[in-house]
């Protein structure tokens, strides 16, 4: 039986993009982290990872939240 305590999973995805439109990643630069069960943890990890590459102008990371498969929040 799945753990339905958390209705969403949160992932961090991004990398170094080819230009300022942030639509195409440079080959081999993709980063992904997660899943995280709460957005606070995902935000904390996002902040830590983003700060490491703050001097690279085209580096971006995004927090992506998706519904947990088969899950709804249990009260």
List, edge to edge, every strand of the sheet that includes 8-16.
Answer: 31-36, 8-16, 59-67
pLDDT score, position 3 = 53
pTM of the model: 0.79
pLDDT digits (tens, 9 = 90+) for 19-36: 989 999 999 999 999 999
Q: Which residue has the higher pLDDT, 42 or 6?
A: 42
Q: Which residue is listed with tokens 């983003």? A: 50
The residue-averaged pLDDT of 30-44 equals 96
pLDDT, tens digit (0-9, with 9 covering 90-100), for 55-69: 999 999 999 999 988
Find tokens 């690279």 and name the residue.
Answer: 56
């Amino acid at each position: 039986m799945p753990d339905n305590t958390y209705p969403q999973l949160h992932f961090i995805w991004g990398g170094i993009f080819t230009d300022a439109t942030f639509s195409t990643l440079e080959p081999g630069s993709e980063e992904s982290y997660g899943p995280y069960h709460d957005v606070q943890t995902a935000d904390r990890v996002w902040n830590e990872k983003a700060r490491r590459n703050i001097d690279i102008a085209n580096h971006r990371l995004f927090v992506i939240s998706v519904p947990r498969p088969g899950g709804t929040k249990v009260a």
